[in-house]
A and B are shown apart, each in its own frame.
Chain A
């Protein structure tokens, strides 16, 4: 019998630790499919963040390192500089990447560090129970903004791809989401492009994936996807913010 669908080899056969309806599972699958299709599992090393995805060192079949909160790009830099022929990726949430790890993220991009970052943005700290994140939207109610995020007091959300696109070392900065089939396929293409750029030594690549947190948003899976479409996408428009290959083609 022909196999029409199966778990990617780069995902181990262990249960995820994510909440029902959360999109981490889809994103893990896209990363694993990419590793399978590029045939790179044997020389790929992943870096797990602190946050909901912390235990993904148990999920990905490649070698894995668990980094301190926010430090994944620095750990990835050490791994990559140690063995430049390896493919090194980090998988980080918004609190990890855009708050405590802002310096590590920005400088890895500025150095043109030849690594790939999968940035999962769900506008909230999930693991710790739903506090305001650097990407929480204006007026968004969280555990630590119970009256809504007041931008005059707590400041504004950070648009990571737009910021990193200004740096010369960034080869690819693209924002995608996984709320429907078309967007999932598009996200897969972006992730595969990011890994391919690393293989081709093009420099720093980041794919920001707008994601959901049904548990801490207080919504069910369907409602969460709708909330993402209604609130997150308008503030964080999908698209390619930097692609050095496009730039080169445009300049011809």
Chain B
């Protein structure tokens, strides 16, 4: 099939529409702008809803409402806006509702900057809102993958009845790449018998709710959810590997920084350094099984991020002290160069015996 040139943010939007999403609620923020703009152009033409909310808080709650009605719903934002959506995301998780939330990350904290960043990893994987819950988190690294993961995100949101985040960044959102629009991608639609869509005098009322005042009931429900999370950990881990089979040093990087790291691996190989790359595609569940299988032959790991070091926690947890784990990162909207990463590789391998 012929390829078309698309911006990352537009690819996310088009993929959502292709996946059957007809309800998008947004609020302007850089650098996710093109996603909402694309939706506002396309949705009216296909009988869908694009609505600009009064705030990120309202937008995520509109998603909550549309999802409660049984529809595929989506919102997108960038870092500060995701903080505002955190409340709603917690309620969506606590109400067992599916939803897809896109974060096109920029530098923080506070108003931070508008250049690409990966400093919301902790927020996405640890604390997007209060309470015991997880989001499924996907991290694309190409415009094509942005399209493909959106469909998977909607399918798994419905399958597991939970919020799913696409953790992108300003670089991926803004850049253009050729993509194949896979019209044939069949999204799996499930029947939503739990939806608050009007009982039609045919059943007792459905209630979408996250309030459980009896501690025993709440604990039982949260534990039930965590059983589901265990299944997801077993079945949904995804990562991409590059030259890892014989690698002495494995870089672990996702999204934009994985592209830089891949170039650095090629440069290292030219120097005779056996470098490889593991690129997590799911950030939660963390693809620890991909790290596990390389522990026997790998001498060290190097985590590269556009942050002060957040995912490196998960690399360390996966490695569990069996090999050294180093970190290299730039933050504030700075993308590390392949040369910088290569320097780090040399530092580590230079000391190897």
A interface residues (Cβ-Cβ under 8 A, vs B): 12, 41-45, 47-48, 54-55, 57-58, 60-68, 71, 74-83, 86, 103-104, 106-107
The 3 A-B pairs with the shortest beta carbon distances in the complex, nearest first, are A78-B65, A74-B61, A82-B69
| A79 (CB) vs chain B CBs: closest residue | B65
The reply to whether A62 and B205 form a contact with Cβ atoms under 8 Å apart is: yes
Q: Does B147 interact with chain A (Cβ within 8 Å)?
A: no
* Interface locus among B49-57, B236-244, B316-324: B49-57
How many B residues are at the interface, by size bracket?
Answer: 35 or more
> Is the CB–CB distance between A81 and B49 below 8 Å?
yes
Chain B residues lying within 8 Å of A86, measured Cβ to Cβ, are: 69, 197-198
| Cross-chain contact of B66 among A48, A67, A82 (Cβ < 8 A) | A82
| Interfacial residues of chain B within 180-235, with CB under 8 A of chain A in the complex | 195-202, 205-211
| 27 A-B pairs in the complex with CB atoms less than 8 angstroms apart | A41-B199, A42-B202, A43-B198, A45-B196, A45-B198, A47-B65, A62-B199, A63-B197, A65-B65, A65-B209, A66-B211, A67-B61, A68-B88, A71-B57, A71-B61, A71-B88, A74-B59, A74-B64, A77-B51, A78-B63, A78-B65, A78-B67, A78-B68, A82-B66, A83-B69, A106-B54, A107-B58
New contact pairs (7) apart from A64-B206, A65-B65, A65-B95, CB-CB < 8 Å: A41-B201, A45-B198, A63-B198, A63-B207, A64-B208, A74-B65, A83-B69
B61 touches A104 (CB 8 A): yes
Asked whether any CB of chain A lies closer than 8 Å to the CB of B23, the reply is yes
Q: Is the Cβ of A82 less than 8 Å from the Cβ of B71?
A: yes
Instruction: Give B301 Cβ to nearest chain A Cβ, in Å.
Output: 40
B residues sitting closer than 8 Å to A (CB atoms) are 23, 25, 49, 51, 53-55, 57-59, 61-71, 73, 87-88, 91, 95, 195-202, 205-211
Q: Report yes or no: A68 in contact with B91, Cβ–Cβ below 8 A.
A: yes
- Contact call B197/A78, Cβ cutoff below 8 A: no
Query: What separation, in Å, do the CA atoms of A57 and B65 have in the docked complex?
Result: 15
Judged by DSSP, the binding face of A is helix
Q: Which residue of A lies closest to B196 (CB)?
A: A63
Q: Which residues of A contact B54 (CB under 8 A)?
A: 103-104, 106-107
CB-CB under 8 A from A80, the residues of chain B are 65
A76 in contact with B197 (CB, 8 Å): no
Residues of A within 8 A of B202 (CB): 42
User: How many angstroms between the C-alpha atoms of A26 and B197 in the bound complex?
Assistant: 26
Closest CB in chain A relative to B93 CB, distance in Å = 12
Smallest CB–CB gap between A58 and chain B, Å? Answer: 7
Q: Which residue of B lies closest to A103 (CB)?
A: B54
Q: Which of A44, A47, A57, A81 has the most chain B CB atoms closer than 10 A to its own CB? A: A81
Q: Which residues of A contact B57 (CB under 8 A)?
A: 71, 74, 103-104
Chain B minimum-CB-distance residue to A43: B198
Please measure, in the bound complex, the distance between the C-alpha atom of A57 and the C-alpha atom of B246, giving whole angstroms. Answer: 59
Q: How far is the CB of A153 from chain B (nearest CB, A)?
A: 28
CB distance from B81 to the nearest CB of A (A): 15
Question: Which residue of the partner chain B has the closest CB to A47?
Answer: B65
CB distance from A66 to the nearest CB of B (A): 4
Query: In the bound complex, what is the Cα–Cα distance between A67 and B208 (angstroms)?
Result: 9
CB distance from B224 to the nearest CB of A (A): 19
Centre residue among A44, A47, A83, A103 by max chain B CB count within 10 A: A83
- Whether A78 contacts B66 in the complex (CB less than 8 A), given A65-B208, A103-B54, comes out as yes
A83 and B58 CA atoms in complex are apart in Å by 18
- Contact at A81–B199, with CB atoms within 8 Å? no
A74 partner residues in chain B, CB cutoff 8 A: 53, 57-59, 61-62, 64-65
Q: In the complex, what's the smallest C-beta–C-beta distance from A18 to chain B, in angstroms?
A: 15
Given contacts A75-B61, A75-B65, contact A42 B201 (CB under 8 A): yes
Tell whether A66 pairs with B95 under 8 Å between CB atoms, given A81-B51, A107-B58. yes
Q: How far is the CB of A221 from chain B (nearest CB, A)?
A: 26
Neighbouring B residues of A64 by C-beta, 8 Å = 196, 205-209
Within the complex, the shortest CB–CB distance from A50 to chain B, in Å, comes to: 9
